[in-house]
Amino acid sequence: MQLSADTLEITACAIVILVSVVGNTCLFYSTRKCVTGHLHTSFLLIFNLVFVHLVKNLVVNVMKIVYSSGISLGLAGCKVLHFTAALTTSLAIWFMLHFALLCHRKLYQIVYPVSEAANLDQHTQSLKVISALWVVGVAVYIPVLIYTRKPEGLGGRNDTHSLSPRRIYMDCLNGFGDEQVEFYYGKIFLVLIDILPLAVLVFVCLWMSFLLSEKKKMTYGDIWIGEDDSETEILRGAKFSILLMLLLTSLWVSHFILVCFLRDLAAYVFVPAVLTALSSGFSALSPFLLMLVNYKMKLVSFCGAKEERSTVQPANVVLSPYA
């Protein structure tokens, strides 16, 4: 029996939702165990990423399942779908860039140590940055929420088989009412709002790759003395940031290209499932990589090292490299 586009999309959404919920729940639980007192910067970022990923899957992909099951989305449903999908995608990119910058700063301090002590309240500063990203994200996509509409000429789900794979994209459109607004905001600004942070993320990760190679060649008086636990976590965070960058960039670029050629690929029944996998793949896979950032090979607990060594380490040692 040949599978329909709706069946494939429902299956893809269900798999992505399951993997994402399991991964993000485990990430949240393991990170929450580490919180004693104030929130470290990396924990704050992870909590926000977990929230964004869960919202993306439990709102956007659940609505896709409802639509593919035969229930047409009303105007409010279309608005929520477009707004949530766009906002969560951008916030995931921006939070990952923030995380990569934190890793880069710590790695740079290892490779090129500075004499002066670290200043500023980094927790307060990071909280302000994350709050600002939320405010900017909502403000940027308010027009999407306002101007999303349902085209009048499309009668429910009577579309032909050739339009089947892209019904949800044809049934919920962004109509900005003005060609210039649609071109400059809908086709240029909304693309740049993702591409520019992605480009910066790629640059930062390439720089981290250079710093990692420099760290390998570092010696102290012509003697290589190895790394302490704090440095090991920083190096691990930098390496996994590079992996996350590769995953995020490849998925976003592939999704963007597929959407650009959606009209030519509309007849293929697998297109909706592939679009779902590409748009939600990062929210499903990244939690498992993030859990490995602070994982100690000799310990089962996500932050067990802090508990085990709290009595033997000096008071001035920073246990979380991203704090």
Report the number of secondary-structure helices (H) and strands (E) in the chain.
11, 2
pLDDT at 278 over 60: yes
Q: How many CB atoms lie within 10 A of CB 102?
A: 22
296 or 50: which carries more pLDDT confidence?
Answer: 50
Residue of 32, 15, 89 lying closest to 55 (CA atoms): 89
List phi, psi (to 5°) of 173. -115, 155
Would you state the pLDDT for residue 168? 59
List phi, psi (to 5°) of 149. -145, 170
Q: How many CB atoms lie within 10 A of CB 77?
A: 18
Across the chain, mean pLDDT equals 78
pLDDT at 137 over 90: yes
SS3 316: coil
Residues 56 and 88: beta-carbon distance below 8 Å: yes
pLDDT digit string, tens, across residues 223-261: 444 555 667 778 888 888 999 999 999 999 999 999 888
Q: Considering the entire predicted model, what is its pTM? A: 0.82
151 or 312: which carries more pLDDT confidence?
Answer: 151
Residue of 57, 62, 132 lying closest to 91 (CA atoms): 132
User: CA angle, corner 240, sides to 237 and 244, nearest 5?
Assistant: 130
Q: Domains, the chain, ranges and CATH? A: 10-308 (1.20.1070.10)
CA separation for the pair 190, 183 (Å, rounded): 10
DSSP letter at 164 equals G
Would you state the pLDDT for residue 75? 80
CA separation for the pair 212, 107 (Å, rounded): 8
CA separation for the pair 162, 265 (Å, rounded): 10
Name the percent of the chain lying above pLDDT 90.
Answer: 36
42 or 315: which carries more pLDDT confidence?
Answer: 42
Tokens of 52: 């964004």
pLDDT at 62 over 80: yes
pLDDT at 35 over 70: no
CA separation for the pair 90, 52 (Å, rounded): 10
Helices 5-32 and 41-55 cross at an angle (nearest 10°) of 160
